[in-house]
Chain A
Amino acid sequence: MRSALATILRGSGLGAVAFVVFGPITNLALWAFAVQWYFPYKLPVVWGFKYWYEVFKPRSDAWESLSTSVLIALFTVAACLVLAVPAGYAIARGRLPWRGGILLAFLLPQAIPSIAVYFNVARIFYGVGLNGTIAGVVLVHTVHGLVFAVWIAAAAFAAVDRELELAARNVGASALRSFLTVTLPLAAPGIMASVIFVFLESLDEFTGTYFVGVPDVTTLPLLMFTASVAGNYQIAAITALILLVPSVGFMLFIERFLKADVLAKVGG
């Protein structure tokens, strides 16, 4: 009797979560196939693929923009990892001078809405020839990604028990070796979570891309931005659905890798 009640409660709880999560997304899916939808109709009046054709028509550069977006996001992830892992470790472990100030500095790019900043970055990049290059856009995205990468990496390293590291050092492992074999694997789950955020942040970014990339480098979020702000719901919905594919794919890829890692440790 009690368990039946629990099942019902559990089911309705999950149902409520599903409604909250998928309600707004359903809207997205409906708009992607709505050719006509207006008052007083509660659902689209005419359905179809009209706007899918719009997005993927022969003259459109949706595919190219999509692959550019994914490429930039992957490079951004790589750059953030290279920079954030040592930085996060130092923040978590070391007796770092101005530790608070340094952490605050990494928050800046996410905290200040930054059109004025991009404008100056573009000015610098035009001077050194980085404007209109993939590298330039990756750099701009990296600055934003570092907020997540450094903060989360620092928390992940801080959560690793210091004693384990010291034990490895005591049996003769070098500092680098004990870091690579003990500390890094233990902090990996947290770092991987941050990598997902870096990837998503890059994949959704459009203001920096505009100032530094356009017109030579164009990404899919630029199209999504124009469409969304102007209320071209169908185009915006379709672009967002397309962007779901690399986003979810990347996360599954990361999780698969993580699981393999964890299993290897258990087995070995």
Chain B
Amino acid sequence: MRESRLAMFLLVLPALAVVLALFVYPLAMSAVSSVTDKAGATTLDNFAKAWELYREDVIFTLLIVAVSTAFIGALSAGIGGYLVLGESRRAIAALRWLYRWPLFIPFIVAAQCMRTFLAKNGLMNNAFDTLGLIDVQNAVGFLDWRGIIVTFVWKQTPFVALIVAGAMASLDRSTIEAARNLGASRIRILLEIVLPQVSSAMIVGLTLSFVTMLSVLSVPIMISGGAPTMITVDMAFRINSYSDYGVANALGLISYAMTAIAAWAYLRSNAAKRGMA
């Protein structure tokens, strides 16, 4: 008994139609400008210019987002793992209450918080100074690439952790208990039993957060002033300073190509699983 392909397609159609009509079509309207010149002829000049001026920023963006994603993955695995494997009920309850708060802080406000928190004379260094841990005069600020990564990880870890913890909570506990009775350490149980079973939830969460970080403008623009910077800043700059939608859209397409790579990871893992089943 197998649902027909047509029926399945009809189920997807409404959602797909909304995205096609309200995003892909308008995007195509402007994306055309990235491959046409002023006279209307097809050209790759915009991509050449984007690459010439912003090559470093493209690589920088990819590195920032990849490193952030790695941290987010590790931390959310840790949070989710403690929530299912932790031994103290009180500590679990406390962690469950604690970890979600950054979820509710919009990116733009998160950026503002971090700007005044991570700065050389910011709240963090001042707090350490008051505790006598450091001397604020000789302290360093983190308002550069490190600040961007910290902000991303701070803001996105709860997002992934929420998805991953949900998947972990619905796992069959009998294998976990069995492993525990055999004396396996919690770290081992997490790595060898729990994580493999929630890998697809983890990858969905990481992909979504990878994509989200790629498109955020407020964090790089409010945290780090130096070069290189992230693609979103360059896009805004092309549009606001030169009204140059061509190069901006070319950068947008480059950014989407990165996304497609991330999504490909998900699809591949998914296909592998289907192959097993």
Contacts and interface: CB of A to CB of B under 8 A. Distances in A.
Interface in A83-128: 83-84, 86-87, 89-91, 93-97, 100, 102-121, 123-124
Nearest to A239: B109
Given A96-B12, A159-B167, A240 B109 contact: yes
A50 interface: no
Interface residue range, chain B: 35 or more
B176 interface: no
A120 B18 contact: no
Interface string B6-40: 01110110111011101111110110000000000
B175 interface: no
Interface in A23-43: 23-28, 30-31, 39, 42
B15 A83 contact: yes
Interface string A200-242: 1001100000000000000001001100110001001100100
Interface string A238-268: 0010011001100100000000000000000
Interface residues of A, number: 94
Contacts of B201: 155, 159, 190
B166 A193 contact: yes
Interface string B164-180: 00110110000000000
Nearest to B257: A111
Contact of B166 (A113, A123, A189): A189
Contacts of A119: 26, 30
B109 A236 contact: yes
Interface of B: 1-3, 5, 7-9, 11-12, 14-16, 18-20, 22-27, 29-30, 87-88, 91, 94-95, 98-114, 116-117, 121-124, 126-127, 129-130, 154, 159, 162-163, 166-167, 169-170, 200-201, 204, 207-208, 211-212, 214-215, 217-218, 222, 231-232, 235-236, 239, 245, 248-249, 252-253, 255-256, 259-260, 263, 266-267, 270
12 contacts: A6-B88, A24-B113, A25-B101, A28-B112, A87-B11, A87-B12, A100-B267, A116-B27, A142-B18, A151-B208, A228-B109, A233-B112
Interface of A: 6-7, 10, 14, 17-18, 20-28, 30-31, 39, 42, 82-84, 86-87, 89-91, 93-97, 100, 102-121, 123-124, 139-140, 142-143, 146-148, 150-152, 154-155, 158-159, 166, 169, 175, 189-190, 193, 196-197, 200, 203-204, 221, 224-225, 228-229, 233, 236-237, 240, 243-244, 247-248, 251
